[in-house]
Structure 1
């Protein structure tokens, strides 16, 4: 068991706190594509969306969809060990890569799928990697110069300030400082713990480094990289002029409303273990087909069902990934005030 002095020493020697403007830019693109859960950034995302020309917006959506909403770009970034001073510097380094080198990091797990399971966009990226890389870097340059540079100018002082403050706190009390990064990131005596849809526990012997990146965009996500021994976690930096979020993400409300009925809950549990069509569910439950269809439509609208047609019948099955995501979404919604309170203290 690690005693406090050993843990303090481990944190002091293994933790890095780094400001990365390019990483902040990529995070902003993730938020721009899916802003519903980033309530303090909704107005920013709406303003950027309105000011983008349709052609640029279409390019943005193309790269968002092929890269898991920009999250896979972090694997490219981490592999290059960027510590850039300006986003343009990182874009230039990205442009100098061999085009084939970015396919697997950007596609993620989908890079290993057979060709007939890939989308047209993914096939085009694989067959024309240089064309893809050129278009991507051109988009990033335009986005940086026309949209993100202004926002970075506004938030950069706060991000750099957060690096200095957390570094100073780490010198004084490493366990308390690093443990304050996020409500669901725990620094324990034997391990680091990340609580998401499942709990990830990493013994200190497994970890070569822990890098913390401040971000003004990432709340309320607990965004971590734990695929290697070089662990990454984000520190949310709230801005003084941000108002505390009062809304509830629309997709979270859809899921909760669809679950607020005992018939739909029972259907969801039934379909978790075996797919059924409407006719079979009507027979199984004793409900009219029209009633079953109405409930299925609501569950499907909320993303809680997957469907597959076989002849004249559509079979439904519970979307387990969406159910798992509900735990994360609820945690994130209730985390937001805790993050805001931490920044105000």
Structure 2
């Protein structure tokens, strides 16, 4: 639902509260909890509440959806996902063709089968009933109150000055807005027709952006005051995986073409057991991807995770 609207020099700025978007953010945290320590207690509570099979399904489906980041685009493209209650929004999505859904997934070089999409909708229904319905009672008034406050600040400071305050990784100039993630994303200020601002209590410390044509989508992060000053466990595992000469050599060898443990053993002149041990640590750090090809397991570099390492380090240092 639209909380407020500001129109400034040809650019519309909308402040939207979407319960479905916030539920996607919650599922993102649950599928990747190591990087969201401000929600550690909530994750533990949910893990104790739901059965292991359901939790495994949530995590597994996160792998299909970039930890639910892809489906957050539903809220950018379908107004019904913002304007309706969560059960009604899920009902709306059940009538959207798989062809339209896969047009969204195609931008991320992924796709869903019809069976997988139906499974996803059932997952949403169950998560809402068992977990999120009760959570929403607490966070909904907080989110709407914050959005109203942000709208007031937008009128006072100007919408672009407000955008500049949303995250440390946003850099504003007279001509453009630069968003620094795994790479720089640049938006020309004059070409922007609409800026949509959501708020979330879950996704801190991420910079969440969506750029679709002349529309920009941003998420204001809400700190509930329970942030624990610990280093993210996923970042610790990644840096540990990089902190060894053999593991770095393996990454270099598989950077252009995937290789098996047998191939790596011959190239590096070490035992297959040593290669397997190194690969296990790198998998824990999410630096490698494996797939079966015939009788062999082939290991390739996870280039997306590699690209994000500087961002995650900066994110932890500047945002905690």
CA distance in 1 between counterparts of 2:262 and 2:56 reads 41
TM-score (norm 1): 0.77
Structure 1, gaps ≥5 residues long: 1-7, 113-121, 338-345
1:321 corresponds to 2:319: no
CA distance in 2 between counterparts of 1:299 and 1:55 reads 26
Higher strand residue share? 2
CA distance in 1 between counterparts of 2:96 and 2:292 reads 43
Structure 2, gaps ≥5 residues long: 1-6
Instruction: Tell me, yes or no, if the aligned pair for 1:191 and 1:204 is still in contact at 8 Å.
Output: yes
Q: Deviations over 1:55-97 (max 9, x none)?
A: 6445534643433322222222222123426323323332343
Q: How many residues align?
A: 312
Q: How does 1:57-72 map to 2 (within 5 A)?
A: 57=55, 59-61=57-59, 63-72=61-70
Q: 1:108 to 1:46 in 2, by over 3 A?
A: farther
Q: Which residue of 2 aligns with 1:116?
A: none
1:171 corresponds to 2:161: no
Higher Cα radius of gyration: 1
CA distance in 1 between counterparts of 2:123 and 2:265 reads 51
Residue in structure 2 matching 1:157, options 141, 144, 148 = 141
CA distance in 2 between counterparts of 1:329 and 1:273 reads 24
Q: 1:50 to 1:292 in 2, by over 3 A?
A: closer
Q: Which residue of 2 aligns with 1:225?
A: 210
Q: 1:80 to 1:287 in 2, by over 3 A?
A: closer
Q: 1:146 to 1:178 in 2, by over 3 A?
A: same
CA distance in 2 between counterparts of 1:15 and 1:307 reads 44
Any idea what SS the aligned residue of 2:239 has?
Answer: helix
Instruction: Tell me, yes or no, if the aligned pair for 1:66 and 1:107 is still in contact at 8 Å.
Output: no
Any idea what SS the aligned residue of 1:200 has?
Answer: strand
Q: How does 1:238-257 map to 2 (within 5 A)?
A: 238-239=223-224, 242-257=225-240
Instruction: Tell me, yes or no, if the aligned pair for 1:104 and 1:111 is still in contact at 8 Å.
Output: no
Q: How does 1:97-116 map to 2 (within 5 A)?
A: 97-98=96-97, 100-105=99-104, 109-111=108-110
Q: Which residue of 2 aligns with 1:216?
A: 201
Higher helix residue share? 1
Any idea what SS the aligned residue of 2:147 has?
Answer: helix
Instruction: Tell me, yes or no, if the aligned pair for 2:211 and 2:217 is still in contact at 8 Å.
Output: yes
1:125 corresponds to 2:115: yes
